[in-house]
Amino acid sequence: MEHECIVCDERGLLKPPVPPLDATLDRYLEYAAVVAAGQPQMHLHSTVDAVQKFRVQGKPLQEKLLKIAEKELNWVNIYWLPEMYLRIRIPLPVNSSPAYIFPPLPFEQPDDFYRYTALMTRGFVSYKDRIDRNLIERERATGSKKDMFLCMDQYDRLLGCYRQPGKDQDIQIRKSKAHTENEHVIVMCRKQTFVLMTRINGELLPLADIEEQLKQIERMAVGRNGMASGVAAGSVGDRDKAAMFWEEMTQVEQNRKSLEWMQKALFVICLDPERDPAEGTKEKKMVEKGIYLLTGNGSAKHGLNRWYDASIQFIVSRDGTSGFCFEHSTAEGIVLVKMVEDAIRFTRENWRRNLMNQQPRKVSAKPLTWHISERAKQIMDEQIEIFDEVHGYLVSTYESCSIRMFATGRVDNIRANTQEALEWVTSMHNQHFTNEQRVALFRKAAEKQAKVTIEVIFGRIFLLTFMSKLEHNWLWNRQPPVCVECVGTRIRGSVARNIHRSSMA
């Protein structure tokens, strides 16, 4: 029997259900058959046999998963977050961290660069202040359940998380709120790291203080240019190498202190010199901006004036190009977009106003110090080589929908490889089908896709449930899980440590 959703807290949020075992396996076979249909050299027989055996093996595992679902606020996140993000070992740039291009704002005067950056920064920290004081309006679903409140936990995480590289699996650090104390952001300038205060003793600093600190940082960066270490290179490539880098770096106490400043920062500001002018059509120029925000155009340009482990990098070039690079394990894009829109609105409303009538206080930005060993330098060189190869090939993409109707819910994939979709696609290049038949097949495929979407929204997360059971099988039987192979792709569990923590606690 399917585990029913139950109200789990005073906000009226639900716990996600655990789909029935047979429904989970049926849906997996449905998708596997469609994938196998396009690979004549592959056979589905072994997959079907393994799944049928798992119908028996999975029953006690289903019961264990139900117990976890009862105890945990959201059983899905135990498996989803590591599998989707934290265990991925390839570089974050391009592969995982998306970019958002902001509307252009050509800087007419030299100080416009600092004013714009300061206004946007003040807009971001003001938005976070409203989040911390619970002043952001509670969101509701926009679909068939318009009366359903959505989980707002992602807003708290937006400027409250940091992704620390770890061996095999990264660590998502959740920072405590400090809106009654001191808060800061990190500024990257000329491959150097600086601390810029945004709140002191619980009070947000005025625009004058933020702008003055930005100017201080530029002056310090120019004066210290020969001391630029490019320490950000340690995390730009392979995640296991990044973990090795920081393990080496934190042998030194000063590095541990500097890293703590990085981890506690609300976000990172990247101040870049004017980038190379883009040529060609409007679309080509937009592509060039996107590449710039995603990668900084490589290590030889601005790529090491970044900090990809931070949840948010606010990037500003002196030519007026600006945007975000976003570490995606923290939250979904819609939450980020709402904060960005609010900050852009604040900046536009105040761009021509005189907000600098208050003299800046004696608030000074400060540089961070790093001591880099020969071993750490070697890892940095290896990471730069990997980073500069993150281009020239397509990356995986997918469609997803929100499951924020559940407590701490994020998203899940809307899997499109249905039999109905295959039949429609096949008809499009088969002359024996009429247009009327193709339209009918298209409608049938669209109806199936809508059904799958509704299933995901309401927590019928079939394939994720299957994966968790494979992992259970490994944990309790102390044997390799039943591997289900289809079209050369092995689906296997890899989240036993999470289950172990949940079940043995």
pLDDT exceeds cutoff 90 at 256:
yes
Cα of first residue to Cα of last residue in the chain, in angstroms, is 26
Averaged pLDDT for residues 353-382: 87
pLDDT at position 48, please? 87
- Quickly list H helices, 5-111: 21-37, 45-71, 75-81
Which contiguous run of DSSP H or E holds residue 295?
Answer: helix 282-295
- Which residues are CB-neighbours of 491 under 8 A, at least 6 positions away? 466, 467, 470, 483, 484, 485
Backbone angles phi, psi at 4, to 5 degrees: -75, 150
Query: Do the beta carbons of residue 44 and residue 33 sit within 8 Å?
Result: yes
| Among the ranges given (27-41, 60-74, 312-326), the one the predictor scored with the smallest mean pLDDT | 27-41
pLDDT tens, residue by residue, 268-324 = 999 999 988 878 898 999 999 999 999 999 999 999 999 999 999 999 999 999 999
Tokens of 500: 């172990």
Of 389, 61, 106, nearest in space to 274 by CA:
106
Segment (H or E) for 156? helix 153-158
Tokens coding 256: 């541990």
The residue behind tokens 């990098």 is 313
Indicate whether 14 pLDDT > 60: yes
How much is the pLDDT for 466?
55
Summarize the confidence of residues 16-45 as an average pLDDT. Answer: 83
Residues 76, 461: contact at Cβ < 8 Å?
Answer: yes
In this structure, of 26-30, 71-75, 214-218, the range with the lowest mean pLDDT score is: 26-30
Beta bridge partners of 271: 189, 316
Domains and CATH numbers, the chain: 21-87+397-504 (3.30.559.10), 99-136+151-387 (3.30.559.70)
| Phi, psi angles (nearest 5°) of residue 463 | -70, -35
Measured distance CA(206)–CA(444) in Å, rounded: 58
CA dihedral defined by 174, 340, 148, 447, rounded to 10 degrees?
Answer: -110
Instruction: Tell me whether strands 268-272 and 312-317 are parallel, antiparallel or unpaired.
Output: parallel
How many Å apart are CA 21 and CA 347, to the nearest integer? 52
pLDDT at 219 over 80: yes
The pLDDT score that the predictor gives to residue 446 is: 96
**What is the DSSP pairing of strand 183-189 with strand 268-272?**
parallel
pLDDT value, residue 196: 99
| 481 has a pLDDT exceeding 80 | no
- Residue among 452, 326, 330, 336 at smallest CA distance from 398: 452
Task: Write the pLDDT tens digit of every residue in 132-178.
Answer: 999 999 888 876 666 788 999 999 998 999 999 999 999 999 998 87
Q: What are phi and psi of 31, to 5 degrees?
A: -70, -40
What would the pLDDT profile of 369-383 be if each residue is shown by its tens digit? Answer: 999 999 999 999 999
Name the residue with higher pLDDT: 347 or 497.
347
How much is the pLDDT for 226?
Answer: 75
Residue 212 has pLDDT above 80, yes or no: yes
Q: What pLDDT score does 402 carry?
A: 85
CA 49 to CA 69: how far, in whole Å? 28
Active-site amino acid positions: 328
Question: Cβ–Cβ contacts within 10 Å for residue 268, how many?
Answer: 23
Q: How confident is the model at residue 100 (pLDDT cuts 50, 70, 90)?
A: very high
The pLDDT tens digits of the residues spanning 389-410 come to 987 666 666 778 888 888 888 8
Number of H helices, E strands in the chain: 15, 14
Write down the pLDDT at residue 502: 33
User: How high is the pLDDT of residue 490?
Assistant: 42
- For residue 80, give the nearest of 484, 471, 468 by alpha carbon: 468
Q: Which two tokens stand for residue 325?
A: 């690079």
Task: Give the CA distances from residue 322 to residues 139, 296, 313, in Å, rounded to whole numbers and listed in that order.
Answer: 28, 12, 10
Mean of the pLDDT values across residues 105-132? 94
Give the lowest-confidence range in 299-303, 425-429, 457-461: 457-461
Greater confidence (492 vs 496) lies with 492
**Lowest mean pLDDT: which of 3-17, 343-357, 484-498?**
484-498
pLDDT band at 181 (very low <50, low <70, confident <90, very high): very high
Q: What is the pLDDT of residues 238-254, one digit of tens each?
A: 999 999 999 999 999 99
Of 473 and 418, the structure prediction assigns the larger pLDDT to 418
Q: pLDDT band for position 13 (50/70/90)?
A: confident
Report the pLDDT value the prediction gives residue 505, as an integer from 0 to 100: 27
Residue in the block written with tokens 């604040």: 346
pLDDT of residue 474 exceeding 80, the answer is no
Confidence of residue 473 (pLDDT cuts 50, 70, 90): low
Q: Cα angle at 303 between 300 and 308, to 5 degrees? A: 155
> Hey, which residues does 367 pair with through a beta bridge?
194
Structure letter (DSSP) for residue 202: T
Give the residue with greater pLDDT, 31 vs 269. 269
Q: Answer yes or no: is pLDDT of 41 > 80.
A: no
At residue 57, φ and ψ (nearest 5 deg) are: -60, -30
pLDDT at 392: 67
Average pLDDT, whole number, for the chain? 86
- Token pair 């996140």: residue: 77
Q: Is the per-residue pLDDT at 43 higher than 90? A: no
